[in-house]
Structure 1
Amino acid sequence: MIELLGWASRSLVFLRYTREFQETRKIFQNQLSRQTSLVYQETQIRQALILVQNLLQSPDKLEAHLQRFSASVIMEIAYGHHVTSEDDPFLRIADKINELTAGVGPQGSNIVDFFPILKKLPAWFPGAWFVRYAKESYPIYCRMRRYGFDEVRKEMARGTAKPSFLSLNLEDLARGGTENEGTENEDKLERLEASAFHLYETGTETTSSAVHTLVLALLLHPQAQRKAQEEVDKVIGSGRLPDFGDRESLPFVECLMYEALRWHSPAPLGIPHQLMEDDVYRGMSIPKGSTVIANIRSMTLDEKTYREPNTFFPERFLPQPAGFGEPRPDCVFGFGRRACPGQHLAEASIWIVLATLLAVFDIRPIQDEYGNDVIPPEEFHNSLTSHPAPFKCSIRLRSDLAKRLLA
Structure 2
Amino acid sequence: MNTIAELRHDFPLLTRTVDGQPLIYLDSGATSQKPQCVIDEINDFYRKNNANVHRGLHSLSEINTFKYEQVRVKLAKYLAVSEQEIVWTSGATESINIVAAGITKSLSQGDIILISALEHHANIVPWQQAAKLSGASLQVMPIDQQGVLDLTSALDMIAQLRPKVVACTHASNTLGNINDVEAIIKAAKKADAVTVIDGAQAFLHLRPNLSHLDCDFYVGSAHKALGPTGLGFLFGKYNKLNALPIFKTGGEMIETVTFSTTTYRNAPAKFEPGTPNISGVLGFGAALDYLDKIDSDLLQAYEQALFIYCLNALQNIEGITIYGDTENNIGTISFNYRAEHHYDIATLLNSYGVALRSGHHCTQPLISELGIEGTLRVSLAFYNSHADIDAFISALKSSIELIEG
TM-score by length of 1: 0.27
TM-score by length of 2: 0.27
Q: Structure 1 or 2: larger helix share?
A: 1
